[in-house]
């Protein structure tokens, strides 16, 4: 999430009650999570296992629970509870804003766009021209819809990320990491009925131009889908995964988090993808592998009873 304007580090430190170390004249441009950080961003870390990853990332500012070595061009905010500090920043710069009507007065809707009865358009949503939003579609706050987009009934755009801060030394093990990111649908995207596309935790979930989705597809937080992809029914893609251009994923395939699927890959139905895949190939099975290799394996598996009989 980018702040409306750059914020002095001293203001952030005051807000979260932090001990400030580093350049006290610096300006923070936004808050982000580790998979998406950019220069000028603020990130939090509350476990020594991830200190080095955060401090050596592109993040310029780190909320941390103890003072440690850091590059002189960066800045540390030392607090007892970094996660609670993160929540305070999110609630301050993107507070919950109740809606009082089906189409928010703060939404911007382009020419010749049709919004059916019972659709809900949240606060600060932007919808382009020549779109069709069918009944019972929900587009939640801050999401961006391009031109010539079709969204079928019952779909939710911008639901919260399934993302939790986990600590087993407290009564509530899983505490919600509040989402302040967006969903961005580019031009000529079509989304089927009953789909859910989660907003980014702090960044964007992006669906590229011309991509088409069947019914009951779920896209997790911070996923980036390229151009002209095709997803069949009941595909599920976990958070922060990258799907490059022209990828085809057939029904009920499931993809792991934080992996990359290369351009032009085809994933067959009911496949389970646990690691990154090269582009330009066809994959099947669990774990998903080159389809020809997998088919040969299945042939040999079917021959096991025959081979066993011969050996005995």
Rounded CA gap, 198 and 138, in Å? 12
Say whether 221 is catalytic: yes
What single-letter DSSP state applies at residue 57? S
- b vs e for 128-144, b when ≥16 Cβ sit within 10 Å of the residue's Cβ? bebbbbbebbbbbbbbb
Rounded CA gap, 159 and 87, in Å? 18
Residue of 142, 203, 218, 221 with catalytic role: 221
Is 143 in contact with 204 (CB distance < 8 Å)?
no
Q: Which of 114, 208, 119, 191 has its CA nearest to residue 150?
A: 191
Q: Which of 153, 133, 135 has its CA nearest to residue 143?
A: 133
Q: Which of 229, 232, 235, 300 has its CA nearest to residue 273?
A: 235
Output Rg (C-alpha) for the chain, integer angstroms.
Answer: 23
Distances (CA, A) of 115 to 68, 175, 276: 53, 36, 38
What length does the chain have? 312
Q: Which residues are catalytic?
A: 221
């Amino acid at each position: 999430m980018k702040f409306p304007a750059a914020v002095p580090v001293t203001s952030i430190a005051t807000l979260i009650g932090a001990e400030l170390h580093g350049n006290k004249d610096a300006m923070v441009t936004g808050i982000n999570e580790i998979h998406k950080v950019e220069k000028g961003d603020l990130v939090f870390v509350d476990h020594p296992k991830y200190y080095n990853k955060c401090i050596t990332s592109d993040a310029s500012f780190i909320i941390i629970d103890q003072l440690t070595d850091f590059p002189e061009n960066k800045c540390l905010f030392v607090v007892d509870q970094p996660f609670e500090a993160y929540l305070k920043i999110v609630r301050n710069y993107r507070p919950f804003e109740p809606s009082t009507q089906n189409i928010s007065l703060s939404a911007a809707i382009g020419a010749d766009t049709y919004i059916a009865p019972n659709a809900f358009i949240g606060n600060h949503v932007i919808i382009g021209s020549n779109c069709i939003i069918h009944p019972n579609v929900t587009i939640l706050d801050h999401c961006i819809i391009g031109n010539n987009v079709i969204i079928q009934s019952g779909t939710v755009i911008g639901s919260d990320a399934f993302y939790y801060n986990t600590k087993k030394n407290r009564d509530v093990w899983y505490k919600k990491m509040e989402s302040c990111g967006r969903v961005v649908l580019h031009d000529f995207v079509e989304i089927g009925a009953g789909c859910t596309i989660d907003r980014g935790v702090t960044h964007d979930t992006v669906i590229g131009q011309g991509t088409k989705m069947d019914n009951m597809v779920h896209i997790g937080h911070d996923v980036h889908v390229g151009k002209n992809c095709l997803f069949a029914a009941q595909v599920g893609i976990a958070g922060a995964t990258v799907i490059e251009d022209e990828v085809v994923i057939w029904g009920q395939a499931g993809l792991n988090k934080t992996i990359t699927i290369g351009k032009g890959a085809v994933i067959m139905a009911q496949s389970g993808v646990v690691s990154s895949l090269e582009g330009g190939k066809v994959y099947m099975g669990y774990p998903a592998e080159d389809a020809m290799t997998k088919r040969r394996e299945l042939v040999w598996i079917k021959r096991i009873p025959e081979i066993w009989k011969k050996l005995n």
